[in-house]
């Protein structure tokens, strides 16, 4: 998949692999508008039907890692930052319908296989989701199930392509389970790595972006990933200490952090 579609993110390639495996009905991926035709050709070479939405997308909100959190429709297809939505499915009619109804959130959500309850919750919290990477219920101080962790999509880790409406949404949980089981069939090591990364404490700085890791018994944090700028601000340390609103490693410290706890759930043998 990486060799066939090097211009796509790891998260997009995961969605395509799940679609090829039959775990997802449809994948929606984003690429530079000028590369859309080559992406469509590569997808067809993989045996998928692919269609591009006729309009372009321009970034509206980006996080500190320049990850596009939200975008707006645009007719400026030649703009340097113009991006395209490409839909891929094993069913050609489904890909065609998705490209036709992209700007209808309810229809698009159903075609993409998102639970109706989550689509309605997304519409009710649209402003939040257009500016934030986490589900609306995250960040309240309690640990959430790690299959609800949507914040690490920027690093290529996710089990859901939508924001779950609640931490106990049964439809989203069942979907996450199907996706994880499919990933483990395709690549057991990657499936287990996905569970390990998602089951983490995520910390966000308004300028440096995200870091995330596994809490340690002594109150510290073993970092699993994060933006290059944030990791550099911590001196490249793999293990850091936690303090209220901040992290420290030796002479390096970062404060002013928001914390999101996604460490609830079962063990790595059956993470969902």
> Which one is the CATH code of 1-113: 3.40.190, 3.30.1370, 3.30.750, 3.40.30?
3.40.190
Residue 254 phi, psi dihedral angles, 5° rounding: -135, 130
Q: Of the ranges 52-61, 158-167, 209-218, which one carries the lowest mean pLDDT score?
A: 52-61
**Average pLDDT value for residue range 77-91:** 89
Quickly state the pLDDT bin for 265 (edges 50, 70, 90).
Answer: confident
Strand, helix or coil at 15? helix
Is the pTM above the cut of 0.85?
yes
Both structure tokens of 143: 């640990």
Q: Mean pLDDT over all residues of the chain?
A: 91
User: What pLDDT was estimated at residue 55?
Assistant: 85
What are the tens digits of pLDDT across the range 94-143? 999 999 999 899 999 999 999 999 999 999 998 888 888 999 999 767 89
Q: What is the DSSP string of 98-120?
A: HHHTTT-HHHHHHHTT--HHHHH
User: What pLDDT was estimated at residue 209?
Assistant: 93
User: What pLDDT was estimated at residue 132?
Assistant: 86
Domain parsing of the chain, residue ranges: 1-113, 116-272
Report residue 198 CA to chain centroid gap.
10
User: What pLDDT was estimated at residue 57?
Assistant: 78
Q: Report the percentage of the chain scoring pLDDT > 70.
A: 91
What are the tens digits of pLDDT across the range 159-175? 999 999 999 999 999 99
Quickly state the pLDDT bin for 269 (edges 50, 70, 90).
Answer: low
User: What pLDDT was estimated at residue 70?
Assistant: 60
Check whether 69 has a pLDDT greater than 70. no
Strand ranges of the sheet holding 209-215, from the earlier edge strand across to the other edge: 252-255, 246-249, 239-243, 221-226, 209-215, 201-205, 258-261
- Pick from 152, 146, 264: which is nearest to 209 by CA? 152
What are the tens digits of pLDDT across the range 6-33? 889 999 999 999 999 999 999 999 999 9
Residue with tokens 């890909």: 95
């Amino acid at each position: 998949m990486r060799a066939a579609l090097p211009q796509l993110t790891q998260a997009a390639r995961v969605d395509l692999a799940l679609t090829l495996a039959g775990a997802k009905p449809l994948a929606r991926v984003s690429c530079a508008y000028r590369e859309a035709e080559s992406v469509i050709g590569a997808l067809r070479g993989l045996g998928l039907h692919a269609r591009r939405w006729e309009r372009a997308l321009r970034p509206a909100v980006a996080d500190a890692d320049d990850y596009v959190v939200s975008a707006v429709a645009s007719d400026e297809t030649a703009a340097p930052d113009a991006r395209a939505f490409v839909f891929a499915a094993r069913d050609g009619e489904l890909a065609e319908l998705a490209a036709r109804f992209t700007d209808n959130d309810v229809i698009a959500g159903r075609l993409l296989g998102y639970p109706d309850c989550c689509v309605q919750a997304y519409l009710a919290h649209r402003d939040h989701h257009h500016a934030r990477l986490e589900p609306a219920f995250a960040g309240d101080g309690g640990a959430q199930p790690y299959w609800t962790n949507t914040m690490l999509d920027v690093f290529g880790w996710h089990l859901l392509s939508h924001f779950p409406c609640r931490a106990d949404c049964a439809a989203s949980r069942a979907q996450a389970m199907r996706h994880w089981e499919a990933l483990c069939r395709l690549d057991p090591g990657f499936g287990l790595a996905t569970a390990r990364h998602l089951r983490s404490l995520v910390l966000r700085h308004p300028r440096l972006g995200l870091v995330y890791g596994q809490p340690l018994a002594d109150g510290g944090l073993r970092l699993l990933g994060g933006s290059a700028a944030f990791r550099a601000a911590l001196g490249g340390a793999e293990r850091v200490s936690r303090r209220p609103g901040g992290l420290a490693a030796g002479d390096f410290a970062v404060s002013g952090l928001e914390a999101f706890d996604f460490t609830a759930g079962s063990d790595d043998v059956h993470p969902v």
